[in-house]
Amino acid sequence: MTENFTGSFTQQEPIPEDAIEAALAVLRHGRLHRYNVAEGELGETALLEQEFAAQMGAKYCLAVASGGYAMATSLRAVGVQPGDAVLTNAFTLAPVPGAIASVGGKPVFVGVTEDLTIDLDDLEAKLPLARVLMLSHMRGHLCDMDRLMQMCDAAGVVVIEDCAHTMGAAWRGQASGRQGAIGCYSCQTYKHVNSGEGGLLVTDDEDLAAKATMLSGSYMLYERHLAAPDPEVFERVKYTTPNVSGRMDNLRAAILRPQLRDLDRQVERWNERYVEIETGLRGTPGLSVVERPEAETYVGSSIQFLLLDWAPEQIAEVIRRCAARGVELKWFGGAEPAGFTSRYDSWRYAESAPMPASDRVLASIMDMRVPLTFSLEDCQLIARIIRAEVGAVFQS
């Protein structure tokens, strides 16, 4: 009998009851705008910022409308001007080059290794081309952050981290997003906490924090923030920083606060699932699992494996056969982007030279979400299906 999987790869868990209660309280009083607070009241958004800053060990935090907005705001805050080159990953998702393009910047793509991290040799060669790196920890894979920061610091390149897939992850025990000048997170439904849409950024730099806050649309109400720099810092930037509204609201913040308190537990649950799948896949002929560095604490909310140097028709056959058994694999090597699988040469508004070594890796990447609605048995079944179908095609 062939086993099939019947679960949904896009179904996240419901919003926890305490978050629903907190949301209802906001709806009942009606003060959804972050600056609409009663006398003496600390709004949900300001509290969220205070708590997230503490959780990440950061001095400052700003909550905004989306992860993409957090990245664009960071680029503006560090002073990227129209026409400026910004280094970024060739392997990432569309909002990353999109954030660079939104401020008129020109993405300069840096290659990807078989570890699915940024190619540090390629980065080293390209560092002289730009003064900012938008580093995307794509699918939660952290590169050697010690070497990266050493190189960027030496070259005077400012690092902004896209932590859409590393909220809850760490490098040598330090939260992901705390190595660079600014860390950006997404609270969108498919990430590690779910407010539908939403973003957070953290930094220890008071000028960047004040600029980002002004940019997000704080009018002159920045004193209502609990994780922002002192008013004197705002005095320096308040007349020269434009308002590009993109605030977080109290309803989303109310939903997020209980979820963030639960983040470590959720990370454990993701990793239990990840390990089941990885263990089931390891040793499959023709398939490479992605080894994780010892210094990395990861969040297994998705899993990748490589079918290196396979013919495209064979990969398409694996995808077809897995799909027929209910297992949805995404492929970054398809001729056309499907869903979220676009890559550097899909973003035609940004010039790029061909990167053959990266193309070889991109052509081999199979990607799968691991929602927490999957049981451990589901994960074992999924691994068995992939193993069988990869094996069947590999032998043919």
Ligand X SMILES: *Cc1c(COP(=O)(O)O)cnc(C)c1O
Site for ligand X in 60-99 (CB under 6 A): 66-68, 92-93, 95-96
Distance CA 202, CA 50 (A): 10
Q: How far is the CB of 247 from ligand X (least distance, A)?
A: 14
218 binds ligand X (CB under 6 A): no
350 DSSP assignment: S
Residue 24: partners with Cβ closer than 8 Å, 6 or more residues away: none
Q: How far is the CB of 191 from ligand X (least distance, A)?
A: 6
Distance CA 105, CA 351 (A): 12
- Rounded to whole angstroms, what are the CA distances from 31 to 18, 43, 197, 221, 226? 19, 9, 19, 16, 18
254 DSSP assignment: H
Of 108 and 393, CB closest to ligand X: 108
Q: Which residue's beta carbon is nearest to the bound ligand X? A: 67
Site for ligand X in 92-131 (CB under 6 A): 92-93, 95-96
H-type helices in the chain, by residue range?
17-29, 44-56, 67-77, 95-102, 120-126, 145-155, 206-217, 231-237, 250-261, 263-281, 312-324, 356-362, 376-395
String of contacts with ligand X for each residue 154-173, x by CB under 6 A: --------x-xx--------
280 binds ligand X (CB under 6 A): no
Q: How would you class 139 by CB atoms within 10 Å of its CB: exposed for 0-12, middle for 13-18, buried for 19 or more?
A: buried
Of the residues 138, 169, 215, 361, which one makes contact with ligand X according to CB under 6 A? 138
Q: How far is the CB of 340 from ligand X (least distance, A)?
A: 7
Q: How far is the CB of 190 from ligand X (least distance, A)?
A: 7
Of the residues 199, 246, 258, 300, which one makes contact with ligand X according to CB under 6 A? 199
Other residues' Cβ atoms within 10 Å of the Cβ of residue 240: 8
Of the residues 73, 74, 136, 341, which one makes contact with ligand X according to CB under 6 A? 136
200 binds ligand X (CB under 6 A): no
Residue numbers of the site for ligand X (CB under 6 A)? Answer: 66-68, 92-93, 95-96, 136, 138, 162, 164-165, 186, 188, 199
